[in-house]
Amino acid sequence: MNQLSVQFQSSGDLLADRRFEWARDCEAKGDFAGAADLLAQALERAPSYASAWFVLGEVREKLGDRAGSVEAFRKAAEADPGDRHGAALHLIRLGASPPRGMPQNYVRGLFDGYASSFDRALQDGLSYSAPTLLRDAVRTARGGRIGSMLDLGCGTGLAGEVFRPLVDWLVGVDLSGGMLAQARCKGLYDRLVEADVLQFLAQEKLSGAPYHVIVAADVFVYLDDLRPVLHAMADVAAPQGLVAFTVETHDGDGVILRDTLRYAHGGTHVREAIAAAGLELMRLDHASTRTEKKQPVPGLLALADRR
């Protein structure tokens, strides 16, 4: 699975919902014009139906109507200020809005709906290897036991599984309660927290308890600018503490939003963000952590320490 599934909402109008489902069926069969017509009918009955506006944006784009697609995605964002569907991301991708971070409700909804099948999909379908690559990099840099480790965006605990034998105190944080429920069942973590990563790091800074290792396995594909999060990570790292993370990358220097709605970070951006955080780069290696359509996705593995 290359992209998580959006959880569509009801309009509250039975006839509008039926037309929406028929439109989805037409879209699945490749009848985009028919889907667009049915969605227009649904929106006549329910003008604030965010899910219908969102799908209409997708359908219009497939019909080659960029302007109509942008209009529909904007209507979807207006109808749902929390942006559970991620309409703002499509506007960024289409060049109609400036880059920004992903809506929290969108990310939370994606992973809550994906939690029960997450491990199987990544390990069996996408050849996911970020946790193992990060563990090997950390172990090469600093052999022996790890006193305390923070697993940012821990999800179901895939990184916790490979790091737990090395760690005395393991903390995980994730935005998705559904993912944390899966992690909790594994009994790996000494502490699990449901929170936004940046908010959590700000609170941890106040507590004054530093971490010897901080890892983020494929978490930053949901962030655009890495400077704020790396600065916050540096604030809670122990002296000489390690910061290790993976990102998807591209041939340019900056940050782009890929068609998969995951951010890809150029090597220059990663290096500059690490330096701006007051961290010293130890290694930055090309490393693919997953596949898409059976092809490796270009990525980077970064390891830095607190000066």
Q: pLDDT tens digits, residue range 287-298? A: 999 999 889 999
CA distance 59 to 178: 30
Given a contact cutoff of 8 angstroms between Cβ atoms, the answer to whether 53 and 80 are in contact is no
pLDDT of residue 4: 39
pLDDT of residue 1: 34
Q: What is the pLDDT of residues 195-204, one digit of tens each?
A: 999 999 999 9
pLDDT of residue 32: 97
Question: At residue 2, does pLDDT exceed 70?
Answer: no
Length of the chain: 307
Task: Quickly state the pLDDT bin for 80 (edges 50, 70, 90).
Answer: very high
Question: At residue 247, does pLDDT exceed 70?
Answer: yes
Question: At residue 262, does pLDDT exceed 90?
Answer: yes
Q: How far is CA 96 from CA 56, 68, 72, 105, 232, in A?
A: 16, 12, 12, 21, 30
Rounded mean pLDDT of 254-274?
A: 95
Position 90: which residue type?
H
Strand partners, 305: 242, 280
Q: What is the pLDDT of residues 11-39, one digit of tens each?
A: 899 999 999 999 999 999 999 999 999 99
Question: At residue 68, does pLDDT exceed 60?
Answer: yes
Where do runs of H (alpha helix) occur along 146-215?
158-163, 177-186, 197-207
Q: Assign 219 to helix, strand or coil.
A: coil
Rounded mean pLDDT of 103-112?
A: 87
pLDDT of residue 109: 86
Query: Which residue's structure tokens are 């929390």?
Result: 82
What are the contacts of 123-128 at 24+ separation with CB within 8 A?
A: 123/158, 125/1, 126/1, 126/2, 126/290, 126/291, 126/292, 127/290, 127/291, 128/158, 128/218, 128/289, 128/290
CA distance 168 to 148: 6
CA gyration radius, the chain: 21
**Domains with residue ranges and CATH for the chain:** 14-98 (1.25.40.10), 116-306 (3.40.50.150)
H/E run at residue 247: strand 237-248
Q: Assign 291 to helix, strand or coil.
A: strand
Position 245: which residue type?
F
pLDDT of residue 61: 95
Question: At residue 45, does pLDDT exceed 90?
Answer: yes
pTM: 0.84
Given a contact cutoff of 8 angstroms between Cβ atoms, the answer to whether 160 and 172 are in contact is yes
Question: At residue 90, does pLDDT exceed 80?
Answer: yes
Longest dimension (CA), the chain: 65
Distance from CA of residue 208 to its chain's centroid? Answer: 28
Task: Give the list of residues 6+ apart from residue 253 with CB closer than 8 angstroms, or none.
Answer: 266, 267, 268, 269
Q: What is the pLDDT of residues 152-187, one digit of tens each?
A: 999 999 999 999 999 999 999 999 999 999 999 999
* Closest to 299 (Cα-Cα) out of 123, 119, 130, 118: 130
